């Protein structure tokens, strides 16, 4: 099994490669630091850990099936093979008695405050805040900041006019979106497009549509707090780049995530909120409206409030 940066990162061992001095009779290229190949990078999951242990057991003199020991063995073998030096010994605690791989606390299971390398996440988040559109889209397409990357077909970046005045924000891709890499392409998307057309808006023309979460949660389960936190820098950057005059949050989850509240959608509707200085209107998720036709009237009222808020923001921008 090839050794990948994502695997080391997952174990809290990121950024450990150092350049060594070239050996006298060695071509210079061999002394370059090892650069992991992202195009083939895989995230480390339980299956990968099992593979890691199998790989370790093939390292001469190492029979352990404990994941940390396994990682140590594979790292040592890799260092010998690749001629790299790890700066410091791996920090580790005593393994639990007779651990199985399911007993090992995976990064996403560990409470945020207990994680050993929060700086890594924050550093990446700072970096995301300065990306341009194309680099941002590229980053999202290969993102491994949370475990949702393991099962996605496509990350769903967003679609529409990158200079739009209106930005619509949904929850997370579903099955169809995951397949096609575009937000709101199923029945809910059709309804959303009709609603937009009714107020002279469209994703082809003057709206940008994105989701809070860029990768499909398995089985369309609710995204977890940690997944939202890791994905947030992408949405923040999208909002900063689009510079919309209005955001419409589609559904409870999008509204609660954007506004950092647990308030009900009923209490959030009908008022103007704020996200990063942009007015936000909350309305029902189109998938909900497909099941609850009476609430379509309320969604229409929300769109009217959105239009009024938008016009108001234009007046403010004109200094009227």
Q: Note the residues at the interface with ligand URA (CB under 6 A).
A: 156, 170-174, 177, 183-184, 188, 211, 287
Instruction: Count other Cβ atoms within 10 Å, centred on residue 68.
Output: 17
Burial track 11-21 (b if 16+ CB lie within 10 A, e otherwise): bebeebbeeee
Please, which residues have CB within 8 angstroms of residue 212's CB and are 6 or more apart in sequence?
A: 169, 170, 171, 172, 223, 228, 231, 232, 235, 253, 254, 257, 258
Q: CB 303 → ligand URA: shortest distance, Å?
A: 17
Q: CB 142 → ligand URA: shortest distance, Å?
A: 19
N-term to C-term CA, the chain: 65
Strands 246-250 and 166-170, sheet pairing = parallel
Q: CB 244 → ligand URA: shortest distance, Å?
A: 17
229, burial (CB in 10 Å: exposed 0-12, middle 13-18, buried 19+): middle
* Of 72 and 178, CB closest to ligand URA: 178
C-alpha 320/C-alpha 314 separation (Å) is 9
| Residues 124, 131 contacting (CB under 8 angstroms) | no
Q: Is 176 helix (H, G, I), strand (E, B) or coil?
A: helix
* Of 160 and 183, CB closest to ligand URA: 183
Q: What are the two backbone dihedrals, phi and then psi, of residue 167, each rounded to the nearest 5 degrees?
A: -125, 130
Q: CB 236 → ligand URA: shortest distance, Å?
A: 18
Q: CB 245 → ligand URA: shortest distance, Å?
A: 22
* Of 51 and 295, CB closest to ligand URA: 295
* Of 72 and 193, CB closest to ligand URA: 193
Q: CB 286 → ligand URA: shortest distance, Å?
A: 8
With CB atoms as reference, the residue minimizing the distance to ligand URA is 170
Strand partners, 248: 168, 281
Q: What are the two backbone dihedrals, phi and then psi, of residue 94, each rounded to the nearest 5 degrees?
A: -60, 135
Q: CB 52 → ligand URA: shortest distance, Å?
A: 34
* Of 172 and 282, CB closest to ligand URA: 172
* Of 160 and 170, CB closest to ligand URA: 170
Q: CB 156 → ligand URA: shortest distance, Å?
A: 6
The full 3-state SS of 125-165, as one line of letters, equals HHHHCCCCHHHHHHHHHCCCCCHHHHCCCCCCCCEECCCCC
């Amino acid at each position: 099994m090839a050794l990948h940066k994502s695997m080391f990162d997952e174990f809290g061992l990121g950024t450990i490669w150092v350049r060594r001095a070239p050996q006298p009779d060695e071509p210079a290229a061999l002394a370059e630091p090892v650069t992991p190949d992202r195009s083939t990078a895989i995230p480390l999951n339980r299956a990968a850990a099992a593979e890691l242990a199998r790989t370790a057991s093939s390292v001469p003199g190492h029979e352990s099936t404990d994941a940390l020991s396994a990682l140590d063995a594979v790292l040592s073998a890799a260092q010998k093979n690749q001629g790299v030096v790890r700066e410091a010994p791996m920090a580790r605690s005593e393994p639990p008695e007779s651990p199985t791989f399911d007993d090992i606390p995976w990064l996403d299971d560990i409470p945020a405050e207990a994680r050993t390398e929060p700086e890594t996440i924050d550093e990446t988040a700072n970096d995301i805040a300065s990306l341009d559109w194309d680099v941002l889209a590229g980053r999202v397409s290969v993102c491994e900041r949370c475990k949702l990357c393991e099962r996605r077909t496509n990350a769903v970046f967003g679609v529409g006019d990158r200079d739009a005045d209106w930005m619509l924000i949904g929850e997370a891709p579903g099955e169809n979106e995951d397949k096609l890499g575009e937000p709101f392409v199923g029945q809910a998307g059709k309804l959303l497009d009709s609603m937009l057309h009714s107020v002279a808006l469209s994703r082809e023309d003057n709206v940008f549509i994105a989701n809070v979460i860029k990768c499909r949660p398995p089985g369309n389960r609710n995204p977890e707090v940690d997944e939202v936190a890791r994905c947030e820098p992408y949405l923040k950057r999208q909002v900063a780049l689009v510079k919309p005059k209005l955001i419409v949050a589609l559904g409870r989850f999008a509204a609660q995530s954007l506004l950092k509240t647990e308030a009900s959608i009923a209490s959030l509707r009908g008022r103007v909120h704020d996200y990063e200085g942009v007015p936000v209107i909350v309305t029902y998720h189109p998938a909900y409206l497909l099941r609850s036709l009476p609430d379509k009237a309320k969604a229409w009222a929300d769109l009217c409030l959105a239009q009024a808020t938008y016009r108001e923001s234009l007046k403010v921008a004109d200094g009227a």
